[in-house]
Amino acid sequence: MVAVILGYQVAKNWSYNLRVKNNPVKTFFTLLFLIHTIQGEILYDTDFDTFPAGPNNWSGNDNWISNDTISGAQTIDGNVLPGLLNTATLGFSQPTSQFTFVALDLDYDHIASEKPIVEINTLIGIEDSTNNQWDDFYLTIYNTVGNRLASIRFDNQHPEITNSQFGIWRENSTNQFDTLFDFAVGELFNLIATVDLEENTWSASIDSIPIFEDAQFSNSSDPINFGFLAFEWALTALSTSNHGDNFLLVADISIQSVGDMTKVEVTHQFDSLGGINLNWQTAVGWTDQVEYSTDLITWFDDLPESTFEGPDTPTAINFSHAKDPEEAYRFYRVNRTRTP
């Protein structure tokens, strides 16, 4: 659902950008090979276009709830990103308390469904403050009885403040860990978080770059299940009148579940004529498709002998394709989906 677009300006202060701070764009040519796609049961999917625009309208629609339904701190805005129609925002206006949440009541039973792996795929961004007050924003998972299990925190403290914690942090309900990755304010990024509720582990990436992998999900003794997905705004000031006018923007979100997920780990080499060789291993029950693009927007899957259905045992694949002399750039990826 989330499109990855390179260098497309969509509004004055917002743009899609394939980068993570301190990582050069050119590294994405290699990292594109590591993209894995899971196809499972869609648990939830929205781009907010069916939500009525206006203050306090994120909650009260499509199973979203909030502890602040009067201040306008959570809203559906049709003007921030006209190219994407509606977006959901949290922040900017003075809230009713120091901690504001908007949560999706998912109530997902991974035991009954026998699909313990849940992928959250969302396009989000943080707009910076202009009033010298900076706050924290979270993506948090709660269990069905409301126990906080784990979070990804986007600390928007100004980087030049002494001992600033600006950046992306992982929290397991009792401890916090610096991922050592920053985010660029005023830019959208594609966050994908994959949770294994059976193994109590999770991984996350931003614009296809892993920020942590197979980390402990929750360190609490509370039941591990997927009850609620929340976006949260925590003020650093003691008074709501000193809130930052920073805000979190969510352009769209998709949540799906699968019984198992096998990552595609691809290596590559170039031959003397500029052709590409891709190497990876198939997985039982999965189909791998080599895709290519010249602009990172439109992807094609019509290369000869580029579809590989997983046999009874994993098999090593070597896929080669000659360079097209009429193309200045070509990008490749391996898309893995469940075999019907």
Contact 165, 219 (CB under 8 A): no
My answer on whether 322 and 241 are in the same domain is no
pLDDT at res. 11: 30
Taking only the tens place, the pLDDT of each residue in 90-129 is 999 999 999 999 999 999 998 888 788 999 999 999 999 9
pLDDT score of 8 more than 90: no
pLDDT band per the 50, 70, 90 thresholds, residue 261:
low
Taking only the tens place, the pLDDT of each residue in 29-81 is 222 332 334 557 899 999 999 999 999 999 999 999 999 999 999 999 987 76
Give pTM, 2 decimals. 0.68
pLDDT score of 243 more than 60: yes
Residues 6+ apart with CB under 8 A from 204: 152, 170, 191, 192, 193, 194, 210, 211, 212
pLDDT band per the 50, 70, 90 thresholds, residue 315:
confident
Residue 266 domain flag: no
My answer on whether 202 and 321 are in the same domain is no
Q: Sign (positive/negative) of CA torsion 97, 99, 105, 111?
A: negative
My answer on whether 83 and 137 are in the same domain is yes
My answer on whether 328 and 222 are in the same domain is no
pLDDT at res. 163: 84
My answer on whether 252 and 315 are in the same domain is no
Alpha-carbon distance 89 to 98, whole Å? Answer: 17
Number of domains in the chain: 2
Query: Strand, coil or helix: what is 112?
Result: helix
The distance between the two most distant Cα atoms of the chain, rounded to a whole number of Å, is 64
My answer on whether 202 and 290 are in the same domain is no
My answer on whether 195 and 106 are in the same domain is yes
Per-residue 3-state assignment (H helix, E strand, C coil) for 306-319? CEEECCCCCCEEEE
Q: How many residues does the chain have?
A: 340
The residue ranking higher by pLDDT, 230 or 313, is 230
pLDDT band per the 50, 70, 90 thresholds, residue 23:
very low
CA 209 to chain CA centroid, nearest Å: 10
Residue 234 domain flag: yes
Q: Which domain holds residue 156?
A: 15-258
pLDDT at res. 249: 96
My answer on whether 212 and 295 are in the same domain is no
Query: Strand, coil or helix: what is 144?
Result: coil
CATH number at residue 165: 2.60.120.200
Q: Sign (positive/negative) of CA torsion 233, 235, 240, 243?
A: negative
Residue 84 domain flag: yes
My answer on whether 26 and 119 are in the same domain is yes
Residue 50 domain flag: yes
Query: What percentage of the chain exceeds 90 in pLDDT?
Result: 62
